Amino acid sequence: MTETKRIQDICRYIETHSDDNLTLDDLAAKAGMSKFHFVRRFKSIVGVSPKQYALNVRLGQLKDKLKSGQGVDAAIYDAGYGSSSRVYENAARQLGMTPAQYRRAGEGVSISYATLDTPAGLMMIGATDRGVCFAQLGDSEDELLGRLRSEYRNAEIEPMREPNHPEFARWVAAIERYISGRQPSPQLPLDVRATAFQMRVWKYLQSIPYGDVQSYGEVAAGIGEPRAARAVASACAANPAAIVIPCHRVIRQTGDLGGYRWGMERKRALLDHERALRMTRGKSRRM
């Protein structure tokens, strides 16, 4: 059995035993590796540490249980959290609100939003005082605002007011710098759920240099799964965070652009924008 398959099996094990007290020693032993080698290979293949993967699994389960209407305390313990205080300290930061508020679709929560122009159209960012809870591309502010209100139908939602919340302003500025090629992938506290395979693909996409492209097959080979080009395409189609996870940089082997969740014109616009900036900067450095 390859190391990739063993790590994938450990991911499945974490997903089905998230309420257990999982330790690195136990997981490494189950994978048949030393602890040091296991951690290094897990992060290389999955894109995050075993601990972070387990936290992501628990958070996803908590969200599902809260959305289903389950009581907060029951949802917390059923999702494998040992104490409610830990949830309110950590999970709330990723939810953008407390678990109880999330369960009530944002009731009692104030969400500020701002839009910014990108080469692919409007992008809307929504945030509470805890963190970013929404980031999407769309054709108009009304369309994006409709999506935001659908996700948090009971929240108080209003445009970002002056003076700007300092963290919110920083997040918006980070995305603007990223779009202009002046900053690597912005470290936003986005709530992104994924399978182990999707996480590997999305992590790899963030390593593709600004203005470059790779084929679905090249991405598959890059993550150690050379026969998984179609699965890579599916992972790109499921990307929840346009631009931040740059799936627009993946094209077909023939050179055709392939698909794009937010439309082919947006994909072409983003690639043309990045290539033009890279070419301009290349000329400036040679002068």
115 SS3 class: strand
- 79-84 CB contacts, 8 Å cutoff, 24+ apart: 79/18, 79/19, 80/18, 80/19, 80/20
Structural domain contains residue 191: no
Helix/strand/coil (H, E, C) string of 38-56? HHHHHHHHHCCCHHHHHHH
- Buried residues in 44-54 as b, exposed as e (16+ CB within 10 A): ebbbbebeebb
Structural domain harbouring 29: 3-103
Structural domain contains residue 208: yes
The DSSP line for 168-210 is HHHHHHHHHHHHTTSSSS----------HHHHHHHHHHTTSPT
Angle, helices 35-46/50-67, rounded to nearest 10 degrees: 50
How confident is the model at residue 120, as a pLDDT?
84
Do 126 and 175 sit in the same domain of this protein?
yes
Closest CA to 235 of 263, 198, 205, 261: 198
- Average pLDDT across each block of 10 residues of the chain; the chain has 287 residues. List them in order: 82 77 88 90 78 75 59 48 48 51 58 86 80 80 90 82 70 79 64 68 86 93 88 87 86 90 89 84 57
Q: Which residues are catalytic?
A: 247
Structural domain contains residue 173: yes
Do 89 and 163 sit in the same domain of this protein?
no
Looking at the structure of the chain, the number of domains it has is 3
Do 222 and 160 sit in the same domain of this protein?
no
The DSSP line for 77-108 is HHTT-S-HHHIIIIIHHHHTS-HHHHHTTTTT
Do 246 and 275 sit in the same domain of this protein?
yes
How confident is the model at residue 130, as a pLDDT?
63
How confident is the model at residue 64, as a pLDDT?
62
How confident is the model at residue 29, as a pLDDT?
92
- Identify the domain boundary among 37, 69, 103: 103
Paired tokens of 191? 């709530």
Helix (H) or strand (E) holding 137: strand 132-138
Q: What is the CATH number of the domain that holds 153?
A: 3.30.160.70
Do 46 and 62 sit in the same domain of this protein?
yes
How confident is the model at residue 90, as a pLDDT?
52
Please tell me the distance from the alpha carbon of residue 76 to that of residue 276, in angstroms, as a whole number: 49
- Buried residues in 111-130 as b, exposed as e (16+ CB within 10 A): bbbbbeebbbbbbbbbbbeb
Q: What is the CATH number of the domain that holds 96?
A: 1.10.10.60
Please tell me the distance from the alpha carbon of residue 210 to that of residue 219, in angstroms, as a whole number: 15
How confident is the model at residue 68, as a pLDDT?
58
Do 239 and 153 sit in the same domain of this protein?
no
Do 99 and 114 sit in the same domain of this protein?
no
How confident is the model at residue 20, as a pLDDT?
72
Do 81 and 126 sit in the same domain of this protein?
no
How confident is the model at residue 141, as a pLDDT?
93
Please tell me the distance from the alpha carbon of residue 96 to that of residue 126, in angstroms, as a whole number: 10
Structural domain contains residue 186: no
Q: What is the CATH number of the domain that holds 243?
A: 1.10.10.10
* Residue 202 and residue 164 in contact, taking contact as beta carbons nearer than 8 Å: no
Structural domain contains residue 185: no
**Sign of torsion over alpha carbons 11, 76, 110, 166:** negative
How confident is the model at residue 77, as a pLDDT?
44
- Identify the domain boundary among 79, 103, 127: 103
Do 213 and 174 sit in the same domain of this protein?
no
Structural domain contains residue 187: no
Do 136 and 83 sit in the same domain of this protein?
no
Do 214 and 170 sit in the same domain of this protein?
no
Do 86 and 115 sit in the same domain of this protein?
no
- Identify the domain boundary among 103, 137, 155: 103
CA neighbours within 13 Å on the CB side: how many for 179?
A: 18
Count of other CB atoms within 10 angstroms of residue 229: 19
Backbone dihedral angles phi then psi of residue 136, each to the nearest 5 degrees = -150, 160
How confident is the model at residue 72, as a pLDDT?
45
Distance, CA of 167 to chain centre: 19
